Structure 1
Amino acid sequence: MSVEQMYQEIILDHYKQKHHAGLREPYEAEVSHVNPSCGDEITLRVHLDGDTISDVSYDAEGCSISQAAASVMTDLVIGRTVDEALAIEHEFHDMMHSQGKATPDEDVLEDGIAFLGVAQFPARVKCAMLGWSAWKDAAAQALAASTQQQEEA
């Protein structure tokens, strides 16, 4: 099996068996994003424990790439601090905007490295980034809500 075939299998596995799919409570922030290029949609919730991401849940409609990327993203960020997760998002973002020429760190991106081939297709980059964009917005809102609650206490 070639590396490309293995990466395709990882994406299909995450599409067929989505990790952390289904909106759950409790949560501090919920955001919805739409990819205007193709109509893919995601609603995503973030729950924090201090500055640690204790849960990310989502409901998504769209192509296999956007849904698989959301599944991979949840695996990568849950249990990490927001700052650690932002560093992973930065690594994923850089890989997706490399036109497939990056040499990403598999220890950092884990299954996310499977999207390296997708980066060769500019029209599909937005699909792979949709969940990450929603997560960044929700995490920022959740941190702001947490800070406000601490100030009021």
Structure 2
Amino acid sequence: MSSYDLDTLYRQVIMDHYKNPRNRGELSGDTLCVNLNNPTCGDRVQVQMNVEDGKVTKAVFTGEGCSISMASASMMTQAVKGLTVEDALKLSAFFSDMMQGKAGDAGGLDLGDIEALSGVTKFPARIKCATLAWKALEQGLYKG
């Protein structure tokens, strides 16, 4: 597949998550909840999670922002559901490295659609958009 075709496919995946977000909503009851915003561009996100027996059993988000930040939140909530807290944090560290252009090892974790965000590294101003929900995830898991 050519680089052009891959970029087009990745853009389509990102736009699909933006227009049809997965796990958008709120949880009731006792949840881990983190609100973050990116004052540079106005993106804001709230991530809520349930963690039971050391596993992320539910993950949802609400917020407003650009296609990158909202698609990333959608992808993140899909990717971490069912993972242990340790694996969710490993995936978040891998994502952070990927956003900084560092080659890393996902440690056998399924990246799913997350790989579509790898092209964000070409646009340094958008890296904060892509990592916003992931930083909320980390804060919630470290707090919980």
TM more than 0.5: yes
Percent of aligned positions with the same letter in both sequences?
A: 36
Structure whose CA Rg is larger: 1
Q: Is the 8 A contact 2:15 2:71 kept in 1?
A: yes
User: Structure 2: which 5+ runs fail to align?
Assistant: none
Provide, for residues 22-61 of structure 1, a one-character-per-residue CA deviation record: whole Å limited to 9, x for no partner: 1112343211100121010001111111110001111110
Match of 1:89 among 73, 87, 92: 92
Aligned residue identity for 2:57: S
Instruction: Please show how residues 1-153 of structure 1 align to structure 2 within 5 Å.
Output: 2-98=5-101, 102=103, 108-142=110-144
Q: Is the 8 A contact 1:26 1:47 kept in 2?
A: no
Q: Is the 8 A contact 2:97 2:104 kept in 1?
A: no
Residues of 1 paired with 2:38 and 2:61: CA distance?
15
Residue aligned with 1:10, SS: helix
Once superposed, what is the RMSD of the aligned Cα atoms? 1.8
Whose helix proportion is higher, 1 or 2? 1
Residues of 1 paired with 2:119 and 2:33: CA distance?
30
| TM-score, normalised by the number of residues in structure 1 | 0.85
Residue aligned with 1:2, SS: helix
Residues of 2 paired with 1:84 and 1:77: CA distance?
8
User: Structure 1: which 5+ runs fail to align?
Assistant: 143-153
Residue aligned with 1:53, SS: strand
Residues of 2 paired with 1:112 and 1:42: CA distance?
18
Residue aligned with 1:25, SS: coil
Q: What is the Cα deviation at residue 109 of structure 1?
A: 1.8
Across the two proteins, how many residue pairs are aligned to each other?
A: 140
